[in-house]
Structure 1
Amino acid sequence: MCYFEQTRWSCGYWKWGNFRQQCNKEYRTGETCGLKLVYDTSYMHGQCKICDQITKKDRRMRKMSEDIQRWQREGNRRATIEKTQQDMTEIQIQINDLCHSHQEKQRSIC
């Protein structure tokens, strides 16, 4: 039950910070007992790094979608459209993975 700093963003995502204080159960200097308690929480405004990554990937998806619509109007770009659609599928999988890890961290106990 050693004490650590914690950072929490407005979206609910959090992470452990630096070690702050040793508990009574651990007698060795510089060692921790393995259990973490919150010493102090720093609240950060804005998005966490995962939310930033999701936002960037969403913008990229919108751009690719707009490009595909333009290429379909122009015609004669079938290979480019197929490649972009494959890229969009890969990016969507990445977005889903990021969202899942973000939700898991929000649900987990500090």
Structure 2
Amino acid sequence: MCYFEQTRWSCGYWKWGNFRQQCNKEYRTGETCGLKLVYDTSYQASQCKICDQISKKDRRVRKLSDDIMRWQREGNRRATIEKTQRDILEIQDQMHDLWKGHEEKIRSI
């Protein structure tokens, strides 16, 4: 039951910070007992790194979708459209993986 700082963002994501206080169960200097308790929580009003990455990928998908619509109006760009659609699916898979990890971390505490 050693105490650590914690950082929590507005989206609910959190991470452990620095070691703050040793509990009375651990007698060795510099060692921790393995059980982490929150000493103090610092709240950040901004989004976490994962939310920033997800929003960047979302903007990229929207731009690629707009490009596809423009190319369809112009015509004669079938190969480019197909490649861009594959890129969109790949980016959406990455976004899904990021979001899944984000949700797991939020539920873990």
So what's the TM-score if we normalise by structure 2? 0.97
**2:32 — aligned with what?**
32
* 1:95 and 2:95 correspond: yes
Q: State the Cα RMSD in Å.
A: 0.6
State the 4+ residue runs in structure 1 displaced beyond 4 angstroms. Answer: none
Identity, in percent, stands at 83
1:3-14 superposed matches below 5 A: 3-14=3-14
1:50 aligns with 2:50: yes
Counterpart of 1:20 in structure 2 is 20
Q: Distance in 2 between matches of 1:107 and 1:98?
A: 15
How many angstroms does 1:36 deviate by?
Answer: 0.1
Equivalenced residues, count: 109
Which residue of structure 2 aligns with residue 74 of structure 1?
A: 74
Task: Quote the offset at 1:27 in angstroms.
Answer: 1.0
Structure 1: runs of 5 or more not aligned: none
